[in-house]
Amino acid sequence: MELAALAAEAYVYGYPLVRDLSVVEGFMQTGFGSLPPAPFNHFAHAGRSASPDMPFMSGDTIVDDGTVRSVAQLDLSGGPVLLHLPGADGAYGVLQFVDAWTNNFAYVGRRATGTRAGDWLVVPPGWAGSVPDDVLGVIDAPTSVVSVIGRKACDGSDDPERVRVLQEQLSVTYAEPGTHRTGLPAPDPDVPEPLRFFEQLRVWMADFPPSAPDQAHQDRFQPLGLLEEGPSPYTCADTALVRALTEGLARGRAWVEEASRAAAARGGWVMDPHLFDYNLDHYGVGTIDSPEWRIADREASYRTRAVAARSALWGVHGYEAVCAHTLSDDGGEQLNGAHSYVLRFEGRPSAGASWSLAVYEVPGHRLAGTPAGRRSVGPRTPGLVYGEDGSLTIRVQRERPDDPVAAANWLPAPDGDFRSVLRLCAPGPGILDGTYEIPAVERIR
């Protein structure tokens, strides 16, 4: 294979690892939106649901509407940790576990494990110690760094305090004496910037090895220097290798960007419940190990994984939640605050747990700032009015409607172009098999 083509393949394969750990590193240093920075093995809590300063990413579990996030970056290099969870209070909530390669390998929450309070033991790869008798269960981590992303449904003025009390009960403690990292392994600073991606990939592949089948696939990248240990081969790389890596990076990046844009550009509601089915090797607590939730072709899974990392980092399997979005109304025109719209649901949206509808500004993809602090509509929105037949009509427009029912079900829109986003937690079977049709955004003025 041409060396540049091999480098492009390596970029697509390794992009999720580099993207994930770059975000992990940035999160610990500067935080994310309303989430403050936090060191390894400490939770950071958002005090509110998503706000206008937080960008939209399709399917993303950090930046969504109607939920409050809690995030911890776990380091297991010094041994296992105990993760203490409060009991559930009836509202939707989940803790999602993501390894360094962006595999969702465990879920703890109402759908997956029930509502008991207690401790979960999170253990590093290859650990063979004794499990305490009083833990609720064991979570086997595929890599020694793990992102834990929690979200709790939060709607209405009374909810932030309720959620804050639950957040304060989340904690991480060390189960054994040991020395833990304070930061990620550092790439060689003398590597030229054009080759920095491949240096990050080389260093982090060595410290966070994937499954055995994936390691076998990595062997093909030997000619690129990605499997070399010790001093970086990229500080004094020969001209031919530099040219191949530079061209391959450009090709790989262009493919990931184009593939990520393709789905977002489609008209109507866009939703992919199977975007995160690329995990083929690690099925822990709360995951579903079945062909329905697995991409059969391993090399195809690498491509899907790269698209998911670019467009929806830390998104969840479709059986946990899905996120649908649309830019257009029922006539195929761009949604815009100069007009008024309705969404007419024949019954409650098809979700076994929580759901929410929000609008995001375009361009910029930021959650629209709205009057009276209402940024989304969901089942816990105070005063929401259903029809006698159980139907629900949501009005989307800039100004508060004069009609009292329309005002109760009003989702304020921004001045310019926007995108509608519907999030369904524990979606119904019709969503997953494609038989449920989300109503079009109907323009009424």
Query: The domain spanning residue 427 has which CATH number?
Result: 2.60.120.1600
Q: Which of 144, 174, 204 is the last residue of a domain?
A: 174
pLDDT confidence tier of residue 77, bands split at 50, 70 and 90: very high
- pLDDT above 60: residue 64: no
31 Ramachandran zone, left/alpha/beta (phi>0; psi -120 to 50): left
pLDDT at 326: 92
Strand partners, 423: 323, 356
Q: Which residues does 87 contact at the CB level (< 8 Å), separation at least 6?
A: 115, 116, 117
Q: Which of 121, 148, 174 is the last residue of a domain?
A: 174
Strand partners, 74: 146
pLDDT at 156: 46
**Percent of the chain beyond pLDDT 90?**
66
- Asked whether residue 385 is assigned to any structural domain, the reply reads yes
Strand partners, 422: 324, 357
pLDDT at 59: 39
The amino acid that residue 405 corresponds to is V
Between 192 and 66, name the one with better pLDDT.
192
- Asked whether residue 70 is assigned to any structural domain, the reply reads yes
- Asked whether residue 78 is assigned to any structural domain, the reply reads yes
Q: How much is the average pLDDT of 147-176?
A: 73
- pLDDT above 70: residue 153: no
- Burial of residue 361 (number of CB atoms within 10 Å: 0-12, 13-18, 19+): buried
- pLDDT above 60: residue 289: yes
- Asked whether residue 66 is assigned to any structural domain, the reply reads yes
pLDDT confidence tier of residue 111, bands split at 50, 70 and 90: confident
Q: Which of 139, 174, 209 is the last residue of a domain?
A: 174
Q: Provide the CATH number for the domain around residue 150.
A: 2.60.40.1610
pLDDT confidence tier of residue 353, bands split at 50, 70 and 90: confident
Question: What is the biggest distance separating any 2 CA atoms in the chain, rounded to whole angstroms?
Answer: 74
- Asked whether residue 115 is assigned to any structural domain, the reply reads yes
pLDDT confidence tier of residue 54, bands split at 50, 70 and 90: very low
- Burial of residue 373 (number of CB atoms within 10 Å: 0-12, 13-18, 19+): exposed
How many structural domains comprise the chain? 2
- Asked whether residue 277 is assigned to any structural domain, the reply reads no
- pLDDT above 50: residue 185: yes
- pLDDT above 80: residue 265: no
pLDDT confidence tier of residue 62, bands split at 50, 70 and 90: very low
Quick check: bond before 86 cis, omega within 30? no
Between 185 and 59, name the one with better pLDDT.
185
66, 423 Cβ separation under 8 angstroms: yes
User: For residue range 85-97, what is the model confidence (pLDDT) as tens digits?
Assistant: 887 666 677 899 9
- How many angstroms separate the Cα of 130 from the Cα of each of 135, 141, 175, 177, 434? 11, 16, 10, 14, 45
315, 103 Cβ separation under 8 angstroms: no
* Residue 75 tokens, joined: 């380091």
- Asked whether residue 44 is assigned to any structural domain, the reply reads yes
366, 360 Cβ separation under 8 angstroms: yes
- Asked whether residue 77 is assigned to any structural domain, the reply reads yes
| 258: enclosing H helix or E strand | helix 239-264
pLDDT at 445: 87
314, 102 Cβ separation under 8 angstroms: yes
- d(C-alpha 8, C-alpha 18), whole Å: 14
118, 84 Cβ separation under 8 angstroms: yes
pLDDT confidence tier of residue 167, bands split at 50, 70 and 90: confident
- d(C-alpha 144, C-alpha 156), whole Å: 38
Q: What 3-state DSSP class applies to 375? A: coil
Q: Which residues does 3 contact at the CB level (< 8 Å), separation at least 6?
A: 223, 224, 240, 241, 244, 248
- How many angstroms separate the Cα of 120 from the Cα of each of 85, 139, 171, 183, 256? 8, 7, 11, 24, 36
Q: What 3-state DSSP class applies to 344? A: strand
The parent domain of residue 157 ranges over 21-174
Residue-averaged pLDDT of the chain: 88
pLDDT at 170: 86
- How many angstroms separate the Cα of 175 from the Cα of each of 82, 104, 117, 169? 6, 23, 18, 18
